Structure 1
Amino acid sequence: MKRSLLIAALLIGLAPLCAAQAQDMPGQRILQRIDTNGDDAISKDEMTAVRERRFRRLDRNGDGVIDEKEIESARDAIMDRADAAQARLGSRWRRMDANGDGKVSEQEFASSMPLFDLADRDGDGKLSGDEIASVRKLIADHAN
């Protein structure tokens, strides 16, 4: 989940680039992840395999059924991740409030691009494919 949030944050900061890179579209990523035979389609068998993996993840004790305790555990994990995301959002909002007035103006919002600045290694105000790849690798390595 940590990796997903970091990548989502990076993509939000780089939203204009997404149009130029169709392979980064959410549907395409889902297709690539589920399409195990590489035919650019998701078969019923491939979807069944996904459902089986999801079931095994939820069936924590491996007894072949998902009981209320396991669902409660999954709910708790989701809530923990949501609480952490809320905290990060609040922190990010406070950093965007450059003048400390408790509000984020359009100018403050537009000028706050720390992920872009991190990715722009040569400081030329543009992101090359290599710079984007470097930051994505850094984020992926950090998440593991």
Structure 2
Amino acid sequence: MRTRYLVALCTLGLTGGLSGPVFAASDVLTYDGNGDGTITRAEFQALQKDSFKALDTDGNDFVTVAEVQALPASDGRNVTGKRLLARDGNGDGMVSEAEFLSQAPGFDRADRNNDGVLAGNELARVNKFLAKGSF
């Protein structure tokens, strides 16, 4: 279930735009390491790293289009693969964790008031998207 949640965040653009269900937790606050009810950039980056690990199904430290398309609810339109390849900075057909994280503007997109944390309506927006499961 966690996998569905992570890819949902990717789809939302919070982690940079992949689609296909992969991760489902009850909410983003799963990553609230200090328990303050907000998500900091560092906590969000932990979510992004877990997202990459969930997508890297063969554990070789790279994500390929084939891995993403093999996800249980891949949309079959190759949207997922195209979005993944957009992160392939060196053009080798695979996305490393560094490439994945360097092109993941999700925190900035989610932090609507630019205060450096995700809280309140920002978290509610993310959780609402995840509840829809509209990948």
TM-score (norm 2): 0.38
Greater share of helix:
1
Over alpha carbons, which structure has the higher Rg? 1
**Which structure shows the bigger proportion of residues in strand conformation?**
2
